[in-house]
Structure 1
Amino acid sequence: MIGLPAPRTLTVRSADGAELHTEVYGPEGAPAVVLAHGWTCSTAFWAEQIRALAPDHRVVAYDQRGHGRSPVPAPGGYSTTALADDLEAVLAATLGPGERAVVAGHSMGGMTIMAAAGRPGFVQHAAAVLLCSTGPSRLTSEATVVPLGPGGLRTRLTGAVLGSKAPLGPVNGISKKVLKYATMGPGSAPDRVESCARIVHACPRPSRYGWSQVLAGLDLEAAVRELRVPAAVLVGTADRLTPPVHSRAMAEALPHCTGLTELAGMGHMTPVEAPEAVTAQIRELTLTYLGAHPTSKEAGA
């Protein structure tokens, strides 16, 4: 990634043989952070968090299957079970026995954390989690991408829009306006809209469609209640894809919620729209649950 130190890269093999492109930044032995991106994104989505955290954390970021440099799954390779398998495999490959990390997930990455909640590998390695701009169920019925009131028509139209097989086409003025309306807050800076558009448009169409079908039928309500590690929840108040109703319900249902943060005016792409706020949440978790302190330069900033 431009402007970032060169990562150590590895290919992690998941339970079904799927290969996951994985990047590791920062010094060996430093407190560990593992980043799971969302639907249609990639490791590039976490560039600002990696840049800020890598000087004094070991930061692991991986491309979800079918995204970035991880190959498109074979038929049958799309499921919440696969997401949990993949996270468990990345944790096992990048952390030592008994080593714990703060795991942050955005959107589908948060759903990945929920899906893995009861997995032995997750329980062994997760010290705390950040659930960022995500939700466990009712995604199409609660989304406000389609400007209609709640009801069956809006739900059907939302499902058709998000589950479309149509190509996204080139990144241009029109496509950026569409993406900004659907996924970002109204005040988002043009360079951040451009960054998000390039990441989303790079997602292979088969993977975008395959995961849209999983998300349309998602039900991880029980998994939220099984997520027993300390969990912070963060959402933008202008999020149309996973509106704050999801985050408020998760904060109530989580066994150990450390707090709910609602970022005024921010949309769904919070790690890009509000990178400092997301990084601050991760830092607070590493400080509290891993004993990670900022560098002297940061402490005096």
Structure 2
Amino acid sequence: MLFSLFQRLAALASLALLAMGGWFVWSWWRLREILDPLPGDLIDTQDWRLWTGGALIAWSFLGRIPVGLLLGRAEDDGARLKRLPGVTLETADGARLHVERSGPPEAPVLIFVHGWGLDAGVWWEARQMLADRYQVVTYDLAGLGRSTPPRDGKYSLDRFADDLMTLVSASCPRKVILVGHSIGGMTVQTFCRRYPETLGRQVLGVVLENTTHTDPMRTTVLGEALHAVEPVVKPLMRLDIWLQPLAWLLNWQSYLSGATHLAMRFGGFGTTPTKAQLEQVARAVTRNSPAVQAKGNIAMMEWDATEALPEMRIPALLFIGGSDIVTVPAAGETIARRMPQARPVHLEEAGHLGPLELAEDYNRAIARFADEIFTRGARSADIASVSPAEEEGTIRARRPPQEPRHYM
């Protein structure tokens, strides 16, 4: 939610930079016209105006290159910008979800739900670290990435949960753990409320990353102040719907200038991201439809799962970022208190995009959690069914060697 506000402010700042550059060039040109009739030794065309204006205009269209170099660290993860081919799964409301699967087809399933404005590409590290042991399923939320919107163009958390149920059903009879980041965590909570019959049967556990239990406007760093201006924010969001071409043009100009990268760096990350991570996030929030993002933001403002948390009696791993200003730690702590089997993991350096910047910490904890949940109740005879070659391909360092590899 706060990401959208950061993005819009960045776009307006970038537009102001471009306008200022244009004004300097125009003022230089007008000055030349005025001074042309005068004798040459009296003319001062103030060429600094031309150079200043030209530099500002150039930055407005090329600034993302130096900004990316300054704000991101070098890392060998450029492959994250390439998407897997995937398959298409149609939902009951007509949305066509782009779904990507990695890992052993017979293994238990981890279904990852990304944050709003992003796409399934952000789970690159999760696939790298977890797909040798489990089947990792990632997908683009309806209307984002390569997924299409529902037929009627309407958005709600209930619909996102229904879409998630479509993926859970497609994984049957294999057991599943649901992993949700930000709005993905809100979607997982809504799923638990709408489909309690699946909990403990097919869905054996959930992982909630940097998420909230209520209207995210209430649980940002600005808290109730932002919530108080929701009557103003909602009409502004609807402007993005009605004026989508203009909003998209502003977003792209902001992306080219590097203003979007700047907003994502300081709004989303608690540590220094890699250049590819920063580019991936900035590119996603720019490519994705402003109208779709606005509809999702409005849906989040009308959502609350606080009272339902005590009924979600299922093992839950809960990540809380100490440097998260989009979803403050107090939101995660409330979930930890109210959800009976929640296990909080506090990561003081993690910003809202902790699953990217501290991917190793997040995914290592998820691997341990999944190992425990999926092997619970395994029979000792199952050990004989695991060949040495199979065992060699598992994440052996993340569980005791004597535990059996058991697919349920």
TM-score tier after normalising by the smaller chain length: 0.7 to 0.9
**Is 1:80–1:112's contact at 8 Å kept on the other side of the alignment?**
yes
**Is 2:132–2:393's contact at 8 Å kept on the other side of the alignment?**
no
Q: CA RMSD in A?
A: 2.9
**Is 2:83–2:121's contact at 8 Å kept on the other side of the alignment?**
no
Q: 2:286 matched to 1:201?
A: yes
Residue 261 of structure 1 aligns with an amino acid whose one-letter code is: V
Which residue of structure 1 lines up, in the alignment, with residue 229 of structure 2?
Answer: 156
CA–CA distance in 2 between the matches of 1:155 and 1:142? Answer: 12
* 1:198-230 deviation digits (Å, cap 9, x = unpaired): 222222112111101011222111332222210
- Relative to structure 1, the CA distance from residue 209 to residue 271 in structure 2 (aligned partners, 3 Å threshold; closer, same or farther) is same
Which residue of structure 2 lines up, in the alignment, with residue 217 of structure 1?
Answer: 302
CA–CA distance in 1 between the matches of 2:125 and 2:324? Answer: 20
Other structure's SS at 1:59 match: strand
Q: Which moved more, 1:72-81 or 1:213-222?
A: 72-81
* 1:227-247 deviation digits (Å, cap 9, x = unpaired): 221001102111111111110
CA–CA distance in 2 between the matches of 1:14 and 1:255? Answer: 31
Deviation at 1:86, TM superposition (A): 0.3
Which residue of structure 2 lines up, in the alignment, with residue 86 of structure 1?
Answer: 163
Which residue of structure 1 lines up, in the alignment, with residue 192 of structure 2?
Answer: 117
Deviation at 1:30, TM superposition (A): 1.7
Match of 2:344 among 260, 272, 278: 260
Which residue of structure 1 lines up, in the alignment, with residue 24 of structure 2?
Answer: none
How is 1:282-297 mapped onto 2 (pairs within 5 angstroms)?
A: 282-291=366-375, 295=392
Residue 346 of structure 2 aligns with an amino acid whose one-letter code is: E
Residue 223 of structure 1 aligns with an amino acid whose one-letter code is: A
Q: Which structure shows the bigger proportion of residues in helix conformation?
A: 2
Q: 2:124 matched to 1:47?
A: yes
Which residue of structure 1 lines up, in the alignment, with residue 177 of structure 2?
Answer: 102
Find the structure with the greater CA-based Rg.
Answer: 2
- Relative to structure 1, the CA distance from residue 234 to residue 295 in structure 2 (aligned partners, 3 Å threshold; closer, same or farther) is farther
Q: Which runs of 4+ in 1 moved over 6 A?
A: 3-6
- Relative to structure 1, the CA distance from residue 206 to residue 153 in structure 2 (aligned partners, 3 Å threshold; closer, same or farther) is closer
Match of 2:363 among 271, 279, 288: 279
Which residue of structure 2 lines up, in the alignment, with residue 25 of structure 1?
Answer: 102
CA–CA distance in 1 between the matches of 2:306 and 2:351? Answer: 23
- Relative to structure 1, the CA distance from residue 45 to residue 294 in structure 2 (aligned partners, 3 Å threshold; closer, same or farther) is farther
Q: 2:146 matched to 1:69?
A: yes
CA–CA distance in 2 between the matches of 1:156 and 1:175? Answer: 23
**Is 1:44–1:199's contact at 8 Å kept on the other side of the alignment?**
no
Which residue of structure 2 lines up, in the alignment, with residue 134 of structure 1?
Answer: 211
Residue 302 of structure 2 aligns with an amino acid whose one-letter code is: G
- Relative to structure 1, the CA distance from residue 158 to residue 231 in structure 2 (aligned partners, 3 Å threshold; closer, same or farther) is farther
Residue 241 of structure 1 aligns with an amino acid whose one-letter code is: V
Other structure's SS at 1:64 match: coil
Deviation at 1:297, TM superposition (A): 7.2
**Is 2:117–2:285's contact at 8 Å kept on the other side of the alignment?**
yes
Deviation at 1:6, TM superposition (A): 8.8
CA–CA distance in 1 between the matches of 2:110 and 2:231? Answer: 34
CA–CA distance in 2 between the matches of 1:297 and 1:224? Answer: 34
**Is 2:117–2:293's contact at 8 Å kept on the other side of the alignment?**
yes
Residue 182 of structure 2 aligns with an amino acid whose one-letter code is: S
List gaps (5 residues or longer) in structure 2.
1-77, 241-246, 377-389, 399-408
- Relative to structure 1, the CA distance from residue 6 to residue 217 in structure 2 (aligned partners, 3 Å threshold; closer, same or farther) is closer
Which residue of structure 1 lines up, in the alignment, with residue 326 of structure 2?
Answer: 241
- Relative to structure 1, the CA distance from residue 154 to residue 180 in structure 2 (aligned partners, 3 Å threshold; closer, same or farther) is farther
CA–CA distance in 1 between the matches of 2:305 and 2:260? Answer: 32
Q: Which moved more, 1:38-47 or 1:286-295?
A: 286-295
Which residue of structure 2 lines up, in the alignment, with residue 299 of structure 1?
Answer: 396
Taking structure 1 as the reference length, the TM-score comes to 0.87
CA–CA distance in 2 between the matches of 1:60 and 1:70? Answer: 15
Quote the sequence identity (%).
Answer: 26
CA–CA distance in 1 between the matches of 2:291 and 2:308? Answer: 27
Residue 321 of structure 2 aligns with an amino acid whose one-letter code is: G
Deviation at 1:138, TM superposition (A): 3.4
Deviation at 1:263, TM superposition (A): 1.2
CA–CA distance in 2 between the matches of 1:107 and 1:159? Answer: 23
**Is 1:31–1:286's contact at 8 Å kept on the other side of the alignment?**
no
**Is 2:81–2:280's contact at 8 Å kept on the other side of the alignment?**
no
Match of 2:252 among 154, 160, 169: 169
